[in-house]
Structure 1
Amino acid sequence: MTTEASFSHLDIETLAGWLDGDRSLTLVDIRDPQSFAQGHIPGSRHLDNAGVAALLEEAPRDVAMVVVCYHGHSSQQAASWLSAQGYGEVYSLDGGFTDWQHRLPSRVASAG
């Protein structure tokens, strides 16, 4: 028997509002390290296969988790997987970082 993991879709306006309102959430970016270094949503942490164990250990299960990728496609698979790991409120950002950067260019952080 398999349990269907569930996640929700999240639009850019809602995420921006949550960040403005200081809502508790874990924001993970699953793009490649170079893309993340060049620009990411402030407050997000880069997540790759090497960092999954640390994330599962550190991120509270009772806080919303938002997964960001390039365009909002691969984040859906990651969000579904994270939901199956016991996170109760998991979101995939529709449009991904590409749409965020296009619509909210002043709200992009970079490393360096």
Structure 2
Amino acid sequence: MTDSSQTRARQLIGDFAPKLVELTDGVLFGDIWERNELSPRDRSLVTVSSLVTSGSTEQLRGHLARAKANGLTETELKEAIIHLAFYAGWPKAMSAITLAKEIFEA
């Protein structure tokens, strides 16, 4: 059973790599994601695009959910993945859209 008061990073790797959790929680989500120069919506679109482009589907799962919470619609996220198929590669887009379908239908 996981402690819901812990961050996802702490739940996944806290005992194994505490420094990486510290950087993830404190720097990435505590500082970078909180900067005012980009909205959370825009940061999510950039992040989802980067994860699709790099084929990082494991992290994409959580960031698609975060993107929806940050105001991106299902249609916008699907369109971004379709657009990226021509820049990131068809297999990466197909993997991403399959994952997105799973998340959006849940």
TM-score norm. by structure 2 comes to: 0.31
Name the structure where strand makes up a greater proportion of residues: 1
